[in-house]
Amino acid sequence: MKIELVADWQQAWKWMSVQAGIAMAILSSFYASFPNFQNLMDAKTYAWVMAALGALIPIFRIISQGGSSEKTVPDNSGEL
């Protein structure tokens, strides 16, 4: 499988799917690293927030966000 970047990969930080993934990473880091942060959000709430962000990533990925319509799609015909 050949992996190719989308044409406007430099703009990825603007995409909601990337922002949701970054939010998950930051929230996880804060929750694990700072005990005081755990006092602000109990484990059940944290789990629901992470599940919601995780579920939104594929939804955000398929929503048109007004970027370049020219995306690179790898041609896998004939490759196994």
Question: End-to-end alpha-carbon separation of the chain, Å?
Answer: 7
Give the residue extent of every domain in the chain: 16-62
pLDDT, one tens digit per residue, over 59-72 is: 998 887 776 554 55
Task: State the average pLDDT for the chain.
Answer: 84
pLDDT, one tens digit per residue, over 3-19 is: 888 888 899 899 999 99
Q: How far apart are CA 80 and CA 74, in angstroms?
A: 13
Angle at 21 between CA 15 and CA 24, to 5 degrees: 140
Token duo for residue 37:
């942060």
Res. 76: pLDDT tops 70:
no
pLDDT, one tens digit per residue, over 43-61 is: 899 999 999 999 999 999 8
Q: Which residue has the higher pLDDT, 48 or 2?
A: 48
